[in-house]
Structure 1
Amino acid sequence: MPPAHPFDDDKLKEECGIFGVVGVSDAANFVALGLHALQHRGQEAGGIVTHDAEAGFNSARRFGYVRDNFTSQSVMETLPGPLAIGHVRYSTAGSKGQTAIRDVQPFFGEFSMGGAAIAHNGNITNANALRRELIERGSIFQSSSDSECIIHLMARSMGRSIPDRMEEALRKVEGAFSVVAMTRTKLIGVRDPLGVRPLVLGKLGDGWVLSSETCALDIIGAEFIREIEAGEMVVINDEGVQSHFPFRRAKSRFCIFEHVYFSRPDSILGGRSVYESRRQIGVELAKEAPVDADLVCPVPDSGTPAAIGFSQESGIPFALGITRNQYMGRTFIEPTEQIRNMGVRLKLNVNRGLIRGKRVILVDDSVVRGTTSRKIKEMILDAGAAEVHFRIASPPTAWPCFYGVDTPQREKLLAATMSEEEMRAHLEVDSLKFISLDGLYRAVGQANGRDADSPQYCDACFSGDYPVRPVDMLEQGFEMKAAE
């Protein structure tokens, strides 16, 4: 299946969003709305599993957007019941862009004590090793997803209940995982011991909600209660929420890139507005890397809050110098080489009357391969800009992520092979500056910056400091950063 924007491959992509509801009528409708709010976390495919006392378990899995698959009455009528979970995805494992419908979550398994479905956000870093061991013991895998390992581990557990089996399975899993799961009567949520990926708890009337982000609670009118803590498991049924911590307690290492790009700006992370964090990143950027210019322009849409903060701190006027085509969706014509060479012009257009003759500061969230940055720079110059200065709202992305983010191989990351000045020359801009890692930490509320001895977040994509060893990738020859 082709990507939504075959010429727009220069962004890191969060690979999954998860959502679950219990204790409401027509739970699937609420899940569909929640998944719609989480669509930015995965646009390749989605799935919903429900349970009804009379109809039992039912599921629907589709390629494409939630709005195109889970809004018709004919589909939603096949998903009755007061309990449901759902998932939206990019590819998490297996062949990128060649996903089979069997890889689309949630996954379902039938156990001796009843059925269970599970949806997973993150990445299992020892999935290959687990898969080999399970296959040697007779397991037969139906998908290429690393998440299926959890179902097989549960099947081999001797736990007396499905939550017990899930606990035992997840203790054997390494990496990053936020999980929503369901039995016939229970909604279950779990975060890995480091809490790398997000998961929040909400209240909806007499029912309960689990979601990757708070913005999905808002869309269904649910009250945000709290975040599920790192290493916590919650089991929710008619009696309420039961919480415990089945893993050895560890210091949280939440993904800092959620603040930079992945999460929606109207979500709350760690008690902090994502929008405010991004605005503050712009403030820090203006302090760290000032430049004389006429306009501060965001690269839409992810660069907008940081550009506002940069403008406010620097006193340089904010302007929408680039307009995004909000109706892009999937390319409406076959993406031939000629169309690909049009670059981002199908998605972005420059306001020529505003830009002509101006010294322009472009604020973007990140530089990955640098291909899109070069195209945008060319568009700005073609529109008559006198100067182009890039200010980037994250440190240089020099290391791949193995915890649930679609990242190029290290040699394809511009910052892995070039210094900041070499990147500036490569992009052919008048100046290029990234926020420092300390500056990013200050922007998200850590006044003293990053504690090198005990980092408060997972920032491996910037620092090369991996909180969980990527076992599978090391087996394939990946070389971690040498100890300093």
Structure 2
Amino acid sequence: MYEIRGLNEECGVFGIWGHPEASELTYIALHSLQHRGQEGAGMVVSNGSYLFGARGMGLLTDALTKDQLRSLKTFPYAIGHVRYATTGGSELSNVQPFLFKSHHGDLGLAHNGNLVNAMNIRRALEDEGAIFQTSSDSEVFAHLLRRSKAGGKKARIKSALRQLKGAFAFVIMHEDSLTVAVDDHGVRPLMLGKIDGAYCVASETCAFAAINAEYIRDIEPGELITMTDDGIDFDRYTETDKPNMCSMEYIYFARADSEFRGTSTYTIRKALGKALYKEMDVEADIVIGVPDSSLAAAKGFSDASGIPQEQGLLKNRYVGRTFISPGQEARERAVRMKLSPVKDIVDGKRVIVIDDSIVRGTTSKFIVKALRKAGAKEIHMGVSSPPIKNPCYYGIDVSTHAEIIASKKSPEEICDRIGADSLTYLSVERMHEVYRTYGSRGECDACFTGKYPIEIIDQVLPQEKDLKTKGV
């Protein structure tokens, strides 16, 4: 199964401690994080003595029924999760938050990211008698936590976290506490907020805006925060601190109104568009952005170049995520359902099209073809990120090398493939210049450069494993 856009983020997480409307606020927050995952959603709540959960497949409105939400309504502690699968199949058993029961107490777990040593740990645990209930890498952490011999809850969490390699933002619920942790590179974002005296955490600040919570700050790499009825405790599970947040959070995944280190992604994307103008020497009549994530970059390009921005492409907002079978014709048909040119705007014009990324080239090829049919005189593609050449091991469903067009073709060859008059990518250097302007401490650019900040222990991507298993 393939998604036409080519890039998908694994999931979004939320947690809140000590609010009388915790479950309702969690539901609203998850709705604002729906763009981070549409395959499943769920919640786990606590009454201080026991944990209860509900989850389902599909969008949030389908995954959780009114009866389920009503049953969770009175609980003051809650965590939630929206999922897109990168590790583990698309099935209910892998939908989070996970809820584990034992005589030592209950455990709720939500995870954003991907563990690169999960397969090795899982094999070792299975050899020692562990039985796994899911195919998700996240369950590995629960087993490590349960087997830890460290004294005290926090010490056991620290012990388990130190055995993990990869990208993770964990939200961990016990009956009497909510603990959150971010990997020592901070690849996946996690934010701290507060509403009516209750602390909350979320993958993006747009969740705080949805519930009218205050955005306090980004949670730092290697940080461990525990919330109880006695207050909040700030700690670290490791002294290692090597900031490498995912570049694609800025470029594509996060909502435009979300903030990182106090700056909205809209502002950063606009700056990326301005930077692209410095590298794209093209004369044109209009600039158009591919909706929705490229509109800010197109605005920045327009402001820098003086070329007017127009809404030359419209998006059908009533078409959901369209999963389609492989095959160029089928993919193009799916793109056609979502995007269409405005003939009156592009007819007879020299057009610059700004997109945030190119993975397979299917969308770009369709856009160029459709704009030409609508009468565009010239079509110049500008991409507000460097060429994606490498798979991601840290929680983004970037295709295998075989499906990434820039891994085997030059920009000139890609330009010819999609039928554009020219194609310009933003350089890695200018991308980082923009990030540094807005307080960057270093971003992961492995999908562009192949320089992975975290050692890859499990050498095979989940998608590649699946293909080999199927004999492809």
User: Which residue is 1:373 aligned to?
Assistant: 364
Distance 2:343 2:296 in 1: 22
1:344 is aligned to 335
Deviations 1:140-190 (Å, cap 9, x if unpaired)?
000000000001111111133333222111111100000111111211110
SS of 2:180 mapped into structure 1: strand
Matched, 1:73 2:47: no
**CA contact under 8 A between 1:92 and 1:146: conserved in structure 2?**
no
8 A contact 1:11–1:366 mirrored in 2:
no
Aligned to 2:220, the other structure's residue is in SS state coil
The alignment status of 1:460 with 2:453, answered yes or no, reads: no
Residue of 382, 401, 408 corresponding to 1:410 = 401
Deviation at 1:439, TM superposition (A): 1.0
Question: Do residues 263 (structure 1) and 258 (structure 2) align?
Answer: no
The structural deviation recorded for 1:338 is 7.4
Q: CA deviation at 1:475?
A: 9.8
| AA at the equivalent of 1:40 | H
SS where residue 353 of structure 2 aligns?
A: strand
Identity of aligned residues (%): 41
SS of residue matched to 2:379: strand
Q: Structure 1 residue 102: deviation in Å?
A: 0.7
**Matches of 1:67 and 1:139, distance apart in 2:** 35
Pick one of 20, 26, 33 that aligns with 2:28.
33
Distance in 2 separating the partners of 1:226 and 1:234: 13
Deviations 1:423-444 (A, max 9, x none): 1111121000000011111222
How far did 1:397 drift?
A: 0.2
Cα distance in structure 1, aligned partners of 2:436 and 2:238? 27
Aligned counterpart, 1:85: 79
Q: Does structure 2 conserve the Cα–Cα contact (< 8 Å) formed by 1:111 and 1:155?
A: no
User: How far off is 1:208 after superposition?
Assistant: 1.0
Q: Find the counterpart in structure 1 of residue 16 from structure 2.
A: 21
1:106 to 97, 108, 132: 97
Q: Which residue of 2 aligns with 1:42?
A: 37
The answer as to whether partners of 2:268 and 2:438 remain within 8 angstroms in 1 is: no
- Please give the secondary structure, in 2, of the residue aligned with 1:406: coil
| 1:262 positional shift | 0.8
**Equivalent residue letter for 1:126:** N
Q: Which residue of 1 aligns with 2:88?
A: 94
Structure 1 pair 392–103 and aligned structure 2 pair: CA distance change class (3 A): same
Cα deviation for residue 63 of structure 1 reads 0.7
CA positional deviation for 1:116:
1.3
* CA distance 1:335–1:416, shift in 2 (3 Å): closer
Aligned partner of 2:470 in structure 1 is none
* In structure 1, distance between residues paired with 2:164 and 2:325: 41
Structure 1 position 417, deviation (Å) = 0.5
Code of the residue aligned with 1:30 in structure 2: it is: L
Deviations 1:272-316 (A, max 9, x none): 221100000010011111310011000111110000000000010
Q: Does 1:173 align with 2:180?
A: no
> CA contact under 8 A between 1:49 and 1:84: conserved in structure 2?
yes
| Structure 1 residue 339, shift from structure 2 partner | 6.1
Does the C-alpha gap of structure 1 residues 410 and 475 become closer, same or farther in structure 2, counting only changes over 3 Å?
Answer: closer
Deviates more, 1:224-233 or 1:73-82: 73-82
Whole-angstrom distance in 2 between the partners of 1:216 and 1:64: 19
Match for residue 122 of structure 1 among 110, 113, 120: 113
In structure 1, how many angstroms separate the alpha carbons of the residues matched to 2:5 and 2:194? 37
Task: Confirm whether residue 229 of structure 1 aligns to residue 223 of structure 2.
Answer: no
Question: Conserved in 2, the CA contact under 8 Å of 1:86 and 1:119?
Answer: yes
2:86 is paired with a residue whose SS is: coil
Q: Which residue of 1 aligns with 2:267?
A: 276
Q: Is the 8 A contact 1:373 1:427 kept in 2?
A: yes
**Count of residue pairs the alignment pairs up:** 463
Q: CA RMSD in A?
A: 2.4
User: In the alignment, is the contact (CA less than 8 A) between 1:343 and 1:375 conserved in 2?
Assistant: no
Q: Deviations over 1:390-411 (max 9, x none)?
A: 0001000001110010011112
Counterpart in 2 of 1:298?
289
Secondary structure of 1:102's counterpart equals helix
* SS in structure 2 of the partner of residue 444 of structure 1: helix
Q: TM-score, structure 2 length as denominator?
A: 0.93
Supply the AA of the counterpart residue of 2:446: A
Contact 1:18–1:212 (8 Å) recurs in 2: yes
Alignment partners' CA distance in 2, 1:35 and 1:43? 11
Deviations 1:223-270 (A, max 9, x none): 011111110000011222101111132221111111101111101112
**Which whole-Å CA distance do the structure 2 matches of 1:67 and 1:290 have between them?**
46
Change (3 A) 1:216 1:447: closer
Preserved CA contact (<8 Å) 2:217 2:261 = no
What CA distance in whole angstroms lies between the structure 1 residues aligned with 2:108 and 2:39?
20
**Partner residue, 2:468:** none
Output the CA distance in 1 between the equivalents of 2:340 and 2:245. 35
Q: Is the 8 A contact 1:47 1:87 kept in 2?
A: yes
Contact 1:58-1:78 at 8 Å conserved across structures? no
The aligned counterpart of 1:429 is 420
Pairing 1:329–2:323 present: no
- 1:163-242 maps to which residues of 2 (within 5 A)? 163-242=154-233
- Going from structure 1 to structure 2, the CA distance change for 1:335 and 1:60 (only over 3 Å counts) comes to farther
Structure 2 counterpart of 1:403, which letter?
Y
| Letter of the 1:466 counterpart | Y
Structure 2 alignment gaps of length 5 or more: 465-472
Conservation of the 8 A alpha-carbon contact between 2:180 and 2:226? yes
Q: Aligned partners of 2:356, 2:203: CA distance in 1, in Å?
A: 21
The one-letter code sitting in structure 2 at the alignment partner of 1:312 is D
1: CA distance, partners of 2:23 / 2:173 = 13
- How far has the Cα of 1:129 moved from its partner? 0.2
Deviations 1:98-125 (A, max 9, x none): x221111111223454211111000000
